[in-house]
Amino acid sequence: MSVHELRRKPRAYAYVRVSTAEQAENLTSRKQQAADLAAYCAKNGFELVDVFDEPGLSGSDWNRPQFNRMIDLATGDDHPVDFIVATDMARIARDVEFSILMEGRLRRAGVTLRFVLQEFQPGHNGLLMKLVTSWQDQEYVIKAAFNTRRGLRGTAAEGFWPGGVVPLGYESRTAEVRSKKEKKKLFVNEAESEVVRLIFDLAERGFDGSPMGARAIAEHLNANGYTLRGRKFHNSNVADLLQRPHYLGRFPGSKVDELGNLLPEDEWIWVDCPQLISQEQFDRVAALRASRAPRVTPPHVVAGTTLLVGVARCGMSGCGCGMTIRTGKSGQYKYYACNSAVNRGASSCGCPKVRAEKLDALVTQAVAEEIFSEERLRPLLQKMLDTSDEARTRKLADLQRSEEQLDEARKRLSRIHDAIELGTMSARDADVRERLKNRRAEIDGLNATVASLRQQLDRGPTSITPAAVTRFGEVVRQRLIEGDSKARQKIVHAFVKTVRVGERIKIEGETDALAQGVAALARAQGSVPSFDRKWCGREDSNFHGLSPTTTSTLRVYQFRHDRTRGLSGQPKR
């Protein structure tokens, strides 16, 4: 070793840390720590090589980027420093296990910890005092967290805002002052609340009756000058807004006990706040988003306007694949073709291609004639038109049962969310995703059932009448014949479950959506109802609206096909 190396000044890294974001923004504490560490190094003859500054992270956090980088450098093969200095042990860590592991690693690398405000003797006694000090620092964190959580639970139990980021649409204002401490509540921010309502309306209906996804909503808001308190909207923050419980008029002010354990939902402390969105719209949007999620429905099905995409299936024995759209003559013609035959070759399935416009016309004709003709529509809705005392008693019982089922369905959905939050279930699991989708669809269907039954029990001027039923049939038939592709697609998808294409074409449909459709038209006093969601999707239920869910064959066509004329056929009853 050279004389120069023997006379080299000891080298040191300095570590600065504050725990909270508020302290991190206030540089005073960090600057004071850095100044104290520089003075300590100068007094002890250390060369201060670098200062590692960690704003806003707890000493009990093992994943501190600046700290971990400092330890990796200090224990490197080039032995860059002899010391790591901090103002006290609590700056380094507030976790006994972490302290032991970290100090053992430094000791093996020949690096010593030194502190401005604390001094420990070398050897066993010094190590023992460090352990005691580390335990005391950890105990301080545990007690502080305990008291904080207890204070937040108390604040929430009294109906006040417990703190955190205020959701869009609200602002926190001082509602009471106690011993110079402000107690706040949430109030409506009128300008922001209009944006929240717009987001939910776009998610449910868009501009033309077609629901918009979170990404499309964000693009629309950004393009039209809306901001999220100065920031741009993105897919993620729009999706977060669409599931915030605050908009229903209450939110969980505390979900955990004083020790930080997640509590069951019936032990959460709920805080009331102004309601911005109705429970029914919130549930409808949740069900729509679940059914249109990319893992559930391919994006091209969600966005496409081809009438039978997602409905038409191969009817050949042993196949059952979905029908996909193919083109011919450089895009001049469109055909429905079995997906198996397209991907694996014609030998895998003998299902012939069918001209899209012919099959579309055949299906819309069947829906119009089998459901919406006046002579068929009124018998299907006869129970809705029955206003006898016996019918009213039956409907009241049905309404009570539906409301009980709705409450239970919401509890089941909540239990799934609790399990995901506790880590006993994963939202990435296909079975869990399917259960979430089914529960949301069930809630949406029950909401529609409750609304329909309430409408039928309403004796006022908007009660459902034979004239309303006739008007409903006229509106839907007109849209089936004259409407644009999106309008026709919505109606067909509301009532047609499957179109099976094989040697015969079999159209299967569900008719319970009629009850909710005519109720919606009566409520809207003549406007065109939206058929965006499939009201009757709860096939696992024994009760839906006025009668059990009915899946029936609307029509079977004898199928003939030749290469020059395409599809032709006659109904076969």
Q: Looking at the predicted structure, is the pLDDT value of residue 571 above 90?
A: no
Say if residue 536's pLDDT is above 70.
no
d(CA 152, CA 421) in angstroms, rounded, equals: 20
Contacts of 564 (CB under 8 A, 6+ apart): none
Listed residue (451, 452, 446) closest to 412, CA to CA: 446
Give the chain's mean pLDDT: 76
Report the pLDDT value the prediction gives residue 527, as an integer from 0 to 100. Answer: 42
pLDDT above 60: residue 381: yes
Each as own residue / partner, the long-range contacts of residues 242-246 (CB below 8 Å, 24 or more positions apart, any chain) are 242/199, 242/200, 242/203, 242/214, 242/285, 242/286, 242/289, 243/286, 244/167, 246/167, 246/169, 246/170, 246/186, 246/273, 246/276
Write down the pLDDT at residue 111: 93
Q: What is the pLDDT of residue 516?
A: 59
- pLDDT computed for residue 548 by the predictor: 30
Span 87-116, pLDDT tens digits: 998 898 888 888 888 888 998 999 999 999
Greater pLDDT, 32 or 346: 32
258 against 276, higher pLDDT? 276
Q: What is the pLDDT of residue 330?
A: 67
79: alpha, beta or left? (left if phi > 0; alpha if psi -120 to 50): left
Band of pLDDT at residue 535, cut at 50, 70 and 90: very low
Query: What pLDDT score does 81 carry?
Result: 94
β-strands 269-272, 250-254: how paired? antiparallel
Taking every pair of Cα atoms in the chain, the longest distance, rounded to a whole number of angstroms, is 110
pLDDT at res. 3: 46
Q: What are the start-end ranges of the E strands in 309-390?
A: 312-314, 323-328, 333-338, 354-355
139-143, 170-174, 460-464, 528-532: least confident range: 528-532
Which pLDDT score, from 0 to 100, does residue 463 have? 54
pLDDT of residue 551: 45
Judge whether residue 529 has pLDDT over 60: no
pLDDT of residue 512: 57
Which residues are CB-neighbours of 83 under 8 A, at least 6 positions away? 10, 11, 12, 13, 46, 111, 112, 113, 114
| Cα–Cα dist 329/126, whole Å | 87
% residues pLDDT > 90 (the chain):
19
pLDDT: is 18 or 424 the higher one? 18
Other beta carbons within 10 Å of 294: 9
**Mean pLDDT along residues 408-419:** 80
CA pair distance 224, 232, nearest whole angstrom: 11
Q: What is the crossing angle of helices 466-482 and 356-370, to 10°?
A: 170
Per-residue pLDDT tens over the stretch 170-192: 999 998 888 888 899 999 999 99
Most confident of 198-202, 500-504, 535-539: 198-202
Give bridge partners of residue 354 from the DSSP assignment.
Answer: 336
Other C-beta atoms closer than 10 Å to the C-beta of 106 total: 17
Q: pLDDT tens for residues 210-246?
A: 788 888 899 999 988 888 988 899 988 999 999 898 9
- By the 8 A CB rule, do 331 and 516 touch? no
Per residue in 428-444, pLDDT (tens digit) is 777 777 777 777 777 87
Give pLDDT, residue 298. Answer: 45
Summarised one tens digit per residue, pLDDT across range 291-313 is 665 544 444 444 455 678 777 88
**206 has pLDDT over 50:** yes
Per-residue pLDDT at 151 exceeds 50: yes
pLDDT digits (tens, 9 = 90+) for 341-369: 887 777 788 888 888 888 888 888 877 77
| Confidence band, pLDDT 50/70/90 cuts, at residue 566 | very low
Whether the per-residue pLDDT at 68 is higher than 60: the answer is yes
